[in-house]
Amino acid sequence: MRGKILALELLKILLENAGAVFRTSDRFLGAIKQYLCLSLLKNSASTLMIVFQLSCSIFISLVSRFRPGLKAEIGVFFPMIVLRVLENVAQPNFQQKMIVLRFLEKLCFDSQIMVDIFVNYDCDVHSPNIFERMVNGLLKTAQGVPPGVVTTLVPPQDTTMKVEAMKSLVAILRSMGDWMNKQLRIPDPHSSTLADNVGGGNDLPVANSFGEEAADGMEAQTEIANGISEAVSLEQRRAYKLEVQEGISLFNQRPKKGIEFLISANKVGDSPEEIAAFLRNASGLNKTLIGEYLGEKEELSLKVMHAYVDSFDFEGMEFDEAIRTILQGFLLPGEALKIDRIMEKFAERYCKCNPKAFTSADTAYVLAYSVIMLNTDAHNPMVKNKMSPDEFIRNNRGIDDGKDLPEEYMRTLYERILRKEIKMKENDLAPQQTQSMNSNRIPGLDNILNIVIRKRGDQLMETSDDLIRHIQEQFKEKARKSESVYYAATDVVILRFMIEACWAPMLAAFSVPLDQSDDEVVISHCLEGFRCAIHVTAVMSMKTHRDAFVTSLAKFTSLHSAADIKQKNIDAIKAIISIADEDGNYLQEAWEHVLTCVSRFEHLHLLGEGAPPDATFFAIQQNELDKSRQAKSSMLPVLKRRGPGQMQHAAAAARRGSYDSAGVGGHASGAVTSEQMSNLISNLHMLEQVGISEMNRIFMQSQKLNSEAIIDFVKALCKVSTEELRSTLDPRVFSLTKIVEIAHYNMNRIRLVWSSIWHVLADFFVTIGCSENLSIAIFAMDSLRQLAMKFLDREELANYNFQNEFMKPFVDVMRKSRAVEIRELIIRCVSQMVLSRVNNVKSGWKSMFMVFTTASYDEHKNIVLLAFEIIEKIVRDYFPYITETESTTFTDCVNCLIAFTNSRFNKDISLNAIGFLHLCATKLAEGDLGFSGRNKGKESCSNSISSPHKEKEGKRESTVY
């Protein structure tokens, strides 16, 4: 044993230090295939942990450094050494499984290995789904032993394995993210900590920087595969494999339907020969159902059975060996007629290949039946009285056209059957079971053998010579079926297919422990897994998968049910902030979930500070309801500082609700217990771990988002604000104020981007400006006024239309709002813009005149009078500013005055409007339009009023209130 350990140590050192010459040498690779692989096979079954550990160390060196030349061998050994142990959840050998888990964790940190494994195995129709099975195995381990299942593990061991499996899953996602960042040249904020995460522990030595060294050794091996791993080719291969797997799954439930599906999907030809070849060569087919299908009497099945049997060459074979060969591929059906049809065709084929063996095919047909009966009799433990050689000979007298077959031949045949059972291949002896298709587990093609036979639950038998020969056959079969080319993955689109294969198990692996556990280590790994998963799915623009992770993480903040907040929920809030900071450019629609969390956090923060809620100022007054709510709140405990309406909002926050049902407003219905209120008061103090400045940084950093991301951010913020303002009893204006802030932050973006931003904001302000809640509508219009004043500080060049677009929300609200107060406010807002920013107004005149034109038709006299008063000031004092822009502005002014000539409230308005029209006509006739000399004397537009621009300028700054 000491010699074996020493030899394995030397092999490990040799492989870990092999240079590029060794890694690309055909002779060295041939020696590995011929000698080392069989040594690994024997030693991986050892019960000595040091031997098993050294075997794993050798295998990791092969995977990391020699995988381009050992594609077929790794395809067999990975399931045998790694997946066999990993997938044994209930009764594993603890030490052995921990070795495998630590081996996987270190292997998973190499991003190129993970991607290469997926490309070369999970996308190869003849190879096992190594990556997918590895993820599912880690998921099962992370979830622990299912309830009610007998296990050999004690609780501490189960917990340790859960954590190790979780670390491996996080490492997979981290490596995918690192590989993606490298391909897309995205800076990785976690790269500096990667070495610390990988380091530590010497249970399983790994080669230094094996990712880089492997890349050096791959170059010569992968030249022929250059360019083949493009996204289109990979997508076709992956899609082909998935469709074949779907067909195999359907075949294992209903063989006829499975064949029909494969033919319709063009995965199998419709000729009997092509179907027979598929049944003979495809992995994962239920061998019992193959036999049932071949025994059917329907025309197609019968032709397929004939083609299947005719595909064998029995020339020179002994009779029992021919039966043994054909029955390796399927199990004889139980119905006698089906067996009869198969044996009849077999006899014909055998006699055709060996015409001198028997007098006729009838002889072979009868003898085949006898051989099958003898095989069952000899090897079935339920049969007590075994058939003797004489009985076997006597049962077959006269079958050769009335003659007996030679007695020596019959005795030899009997001995061979007795010595070696006729059965299917070793890898098909596992119980066949129907498996349902789902997105996480693909049945069929993953049926790589559990090659090592168990003696007891935690002990393994040494491999036999027969098993070694079987493995050698496996290598040959894999090399024949699988593509010989090794693909070095380079196209980042590959990650899409990897995510499709692993996202659901990953989500389950992180969500369940995060929900059920309070262990700091487990929570830390779960949150890191969420962050890595969101990073990859967001950058790859996989909306469904990204939103699944973001929504789950947002729910785990528990901000919708503040009375239940724990430390892990605070950590989830911090993770949300980190994601917004690092991946903001890729969140797209997922920004809505992030900003919803920010809104809810701010609401709870205000409750903790004792600040009065927004509803104090913006709620629709309902005296009776208010009195009722105040009566209820008087029985509740006091927070830090009680303000008007604060306790009602505390009660709403204390009520437990689901993430989806809870809004971002403060109101909720239902009773509140004293326990819930007590928990809320305690939990509000926990929120102080997250500074409000960290939340505000999300909005301040919006100016660093790219031109597409800022649009998504603004859309999401508008949605959240709309939800906040939806309640008539407890509206909130947090997001509305943030909209004004981010508009200020981003107003200096290029015009094209700002126009896209404003297109979203304009629709939002129109909607809110027409709100039935007058206080909210006034607040929205005043916010819009602030933005407009800020925007008008920027000078607009000639022939541009940005100001007009910016001012359009005032026009739309003026036309749609039923509130007199809002319409009056809009007129005063526009008036203030003219008086204070007239020097910069260009295309904005058009929207301003449209506001006044709309006001001229208003049904309220005060609105009409106020609007005309402003128009009068504009025409008298600022007429040159109107005429210096463009001719359409002058036309808009004339149309506005025409509208006032039809005033139904005051004749003076109509007469003055006509007088101003006369002035405009005079100016037009004199050609006194379009001049730009602002310092020239400005004649009064009225004989009775003179208002030089220089005297008026500087006196027009006023407020709307």
Residue 777's CATH number:
1.25.10
Average pLDDT over all residues of the chain: 79
pLDDT bin (cut points 50, 70, 90) of residue 678 is low
Residue owning tokens 């808009």: 892
Categorise residue 465: left if φ over 0, alpha if ψ from -120 to 50, beta otherwise. alpha
Query: How distant is the alpha carbon of residue 928 from its chain centre?
Result: 66
Do 458 and 585 lie in one domain? The reply is no
Residues 82 and 21 in one domain: yes
Structural contact between residues 528 and 172, judged by C-beta atoms closer than 8 angstroms: no
Q: What's residue 727's pLDDT? A: 77
The reply to whether 544 and 669 lie within a common domain is yes
Per-residue pLDDT tens over the stretch 741-784:
999 999 989 988 999 999 999 999 999 999 888 989 999 999 99
Of 207-211, 272-276, 679-683, the one with minimum mean pLDDT is: 207-211
Residue 198: partners with Cβ closer than 8 Å, 6 or more residues away:
106, 109
Q: Are 599 and 734 in contact (CB under 8 A)?
A: yes
Task: For residues 392 and 804, give the distance between their C-alpha atoms in angstroms, rounded to a whole number.
Answer: 103
| Cα–Cα distance measured from residue 651 to residue 673, given in angstroms and rounded to the nearest whole number | 9
Give the CATH number of the domain where residue 336 resides: 1.10.1000.11
For residue 850, give both structure tokens: 């449209």
Residue 413 structural domain: 254-426
Question: Which residue's structure tokens are 């197609």?
Answer: 300
Q: How does 696-730 read in b/e, with b if 16+ C-beta sit within 10 Å? A: eebbeebeebeeebbbbbbbbbbbbbbbbbbbbbb
Query: What number is the average pLDDT over the span 928-935?
Result: 48
Q: Which amino acid is at 442?
A: I
Q: Which two tokens stand for residue 403?
A: 């003659």
- In a domain, residue 214? The reply is yes
Which H or E element spans position 752? helix 751-769
35-40: list long-range contacts, CB under 8 Å, 24+ apart: 36/11, 36/62, 37/73, 37/77, 37/471, 37/475, 38/468, 38/471, 38/472, 39/11, 40/77, 40/81
Could you give the CA distance from residue 618 to residue 626 in angstroms, rounded to a whole number?
A: 13
The answer on 302 and 167 residing in a single domain is no
| Last residue in a domain, options 694, 711, 741 | 694
Q: How is residue 574 written in tokens?
A: 């911090």
Catalytic residue among 335, 473, 688, 951: 335
Instruction: Provide the pLDDT for residue 398.
Output: 87
Rounded Cα distance, 873 and 847, in Å: 17
What is the Cα–Cα distance from 533 to 523, expressed in whole angstroms? 15
Q: Are residues 269 and 223 located together in one domain of the fold?
A: no
Report the C-alpha gap between 47 and 96 in whole angstroms.
9
pLDDT of the residue at 638: 38
Closest alpha carbon to 36 in 64, 61, 17, 19: 61
Q: Reduced to 3 states, what is the DSSP secondary structure of residue 99?
A: helix
CB 106 within 8 A of CB 222: no
- Please check whether residue 546 lies inside any domain of the structure: yes
Amino acid symbol at 315: E
204 and 262 assigned to the same domain: no
Domain presence at residue 912: yes
The CA distance from 675 to 884, in Å, is 70
Higher-scoring residue by pLDDT: 112, 482: 112
Model confidence pLDDT, tens digit, residues 595-605: 999 999 988 88
214 and 270 fall within a common domain? no
Q: Which of 694, 709, 730 is the last residue of a domain?
A: 694
- The answer to the question of residue 685 being in a domain is yes
Is there a single domain that holds both residue 654 and residue 562? yes
Question: Which residues neighbour 112 within 8 Å (Cβ) at sequence distance 6 or greater?
Answer: 179, 211, 214, 215, 489
Three-state SS string across 228-287, please?
Answer: CCCHHHHHHHHHHHHHHHHHHHHHCCCHHHHHHHHHHCCCCCCCHHHHHHHHHHCCCCCH
> How many structural domains is the chain composed of?
4
pLDDT of residue 921: 87
Note whether 62 and 32 are within 8 A (CB): yes
Does 286 lie in the same domain as 404? yes
- pLDDT above 50 (res 463): no
pLDDT of 309-368, one tens digit each? 999 999 999 999 999 899 888 988 888 889 889 999 999 999 999 998 888 899 998 999
* pLDDT tens per residue across span 496-514: 999 999 999 999 999 999 9
Provide mean pLDDT across the span 950-956.
36
Helices (H), 838-946: 844-856, 861-883, 887-901, 907-926
* Structure confidence by residue, pLDDT tens digits, 716-737: 999 999 999 887 777 889 999 9
Torsion of CA 174, 175, 181, 183, to 10 degrees: -160
Give me 906's structure tokens: 């005051």
* Residue 543 forms part of a structural domain: yes
| Whole-number Cα distances in Å, 221 to 211, 218, 231, 233, 854 | 16, 5, 21, 20, 76
470 & 412 share domain? no
Q: What is the pLDDT of residue 41?
A: 79
Phi, psi of 730 (to 5 degrees): -135, 60
Better-predicted residue by pLDDT, 435 or 111: 111
Residue 741 annotated among the catalytic residues of the structure: no
767 and 842 within one domain: yes
Whether residues 586 and 681 fall in one domain: yes
